[in-house]
Structure 1
């Protein structure tokens, strides 16, 4: 993600921090400095860093289980409002989604259990009710604070509201009974109701952070419903119905300037590079712009083209192909009918197709049958 940088790599997974992450560290320092000055500021900053280490472990729990089920984990990103594990692809089965969702809170439960044993052995649990920024900035305070924070993380994330972990658990359970599309719709509706209730509670209590989080939950639930509807539509439409049949192709001996001219005059943005009628690579608008910015307008297309273009059958569903592109971080895919090359399809092509298909009765869930079987997966 833009404006982020790597701070660690755990089990082969990059842990990145967004540039705005410093705001939450500064907030922790500010809160504790009010009672304890510079020492409190350092303690508050360290406490926030320790908290987000727990958040990173929470996301690592999701990531390791997701990888166990064959998903590619792109990164763990830490933001001031929490963390997110970014996957390429989505679980094939509701049970997989269920286990991936439970893995994060399970990490917090384990951390809380360890901290409970440690603080109990040290005789600190009696101080837990009086914990706050007025407490002494010390190791016992940090241990008790992190104990409470991990319990809160586990409990809050298990609220049955999409896109929280509890909402994903709810959707996975419902999917086993009523199917993924109806399950997502039901779980999203429940999530929106809970978000509205949390917002009302936040307004009554004057809790601005909770109000902000409730808005994010509401928007997240809405997005989950929209995404599932798109998957339901794309899952019954074959690639052969949406690829560009009149696309211009390039030769490996063409120049970057030739591709730029085609973009200007035809508005085509992705090009297959053909040799003897067969694709050997592809060129996107982004590739052309980068080459022009580097002063390489006279370079041969063969020198900058993408060679790792996924190959897909014209009978595969658009949803399948979109998932494949996501997994391989590929902007385009080559479409084939058996061994015969037909053309390219891009993520933009699929987005444009969706904008039209959602208004065509034969493409809506429950409409007329299509050559491709429906698939429902989670990105």
Structure 2
């Protein structure tokens, strides 16, 4: 995600922090520091920091359950409005989506119960029933106050995330349950409609009640719900098109002894951006546009392409679907794959090829025509 920095790894997953997180720390410091001085400011920063530790645990719940289903998680990013666990691919079945989505709120609910119990222990037997103690608990920096705020935040996180609004956890659970009866596409359409209604409600309530944070969440939910529906339609289209129908069968190729001067000519005279480096009929590697331009800038046009090419290129079978290819690219974090039939190299398939095939196939199906040559009769 843009404007994010990597701060570490947890369970083999990169943990990233959005730069706006600093604003939340400042708000916490000011909210507690103004009435309570430096001690309050430290308390506010500690409270916000521990709250985001709870958010990490919530997202880690999603990630670890996804891992059980063979779905890697690219990273976990902390944002001002929460966290995002970026899975490398979507769950394949409604059951997988249901379990992955439910894991986050389950973690938050367990944390809330443990923290409420810890709060009760620190206050003693009569602490939770004494009005003066409870009043102090909400306003004075102390260990019981810290535990109580964290308990309440985790309970809120668990309940709020169960709202049936995509892309929130409750929305994914709702869609997964519907998918078991209606299929993924119809379920997503219904879940998207419900999400948009709830998003508008959150937005209006937030505006009229002065809760700008809630209004912002409503806006994010509204926009994200549309992306969820688009993603399902994209998967449907790409799963019906084979790699054989989309890869470039007439691509320009390079030999390992070619120099960047030839690549310059190809880049200027053709729309092709990535070039296979072949010896006979064997693929040696791929030279991407980015590497070619870097080579031209720092090493010059006389440089051999064999020294700049990417040698480890993921392979995909020519009879696989474009959805298989997109999933492979996402998992390997690459923009190009090599197309093979058995062990025979055929060509390259890039993200640009995927996008073009998606556009053509979507237009053809909108017209009621399958992917492939369109025929007309008089």
Give yes or no for TM over 0.5: yes
Deviations 1:114-163 (A, max 9, x none): 1111112223534696478x711111111100010000110111111000
Distance across 2 between alignment mates of 1:83 and 1:16: 10
* CA drift at 1:261: 3.0
Look up the SS of the partner of 1:240 in the other structure: helix
* CA drift at 1:355: 1.8
Runs (5+) with no aligned partner, structure 2: 373-378
Partner of 1:376: none
Change (3 A) 1:57 1:292: farther
Partner of 1:346: 350
After alignment, is 21-30 or 50-59 more displaced? 21-30
Runs (5+) with no aligned partner, structure 1: 371-379
Counterpart contact for 1:101–1:165, Cα < 8 Å: yes
Distance across 1 between alignment mates of 2:371 and 2:153: 51
Partner of 1:373: none
Change (3 A) 1:129 1:246: farther
Partner of 2:339: 335
* CA drift at 1:360: 0.4
Task: Indicate whether 1:294 and 2:268 are aligned.
Answer: no
Look up the SS of the partner of 1:263 in the other structure: helix
Counterpart contact for 1:362–1:368, Cα < 8 Å: no
Alignment of 1:1-379 (within 5 A): 1-123=1-123, 124-126=127-129, 130=135, 135-295=139-299, 297-361=301-365, 368=370
Counterpart contact for 2:360–2:371, Cα < 8 Å: no
Change (3 A) 1:362 1:163: closer
Deviations 1:265-293 (A, max 9, x none): 21211111111122121121122233334
Change (3 A) 1:214 1:305: same
Stretches (4+) displaced over 6 A: none
Counterpart contact for 1:249–1:271, Cα < 8 Å: yes
Change (3 A) 1:369 1:291: closer
Counterpart contact for 2:364–2:371, Cα < 8 Å: no
Look up the SS of the partner of 1:315 in the other structure: coil
Counterpart contact for 1:242–1:349, Cα < 8 Å: yes
Distance across 1 between alignment mates of 2:358 and 2:108: 39
After alignment, is 267-276 or 121-130 more displaced? 121-130
After alignment, is 182-191 or 289-298 more displaced? 289-298
The number of residues matched between the two structures is: 367
Deviations 1:338-366 (A, max 9, x none): 444321110111112212221103897xx
Distance across 2 between alignment mates of 1:306 and 1:287: 9
Distance across 2 between alignment mates of 1:266 and 1:125: 74
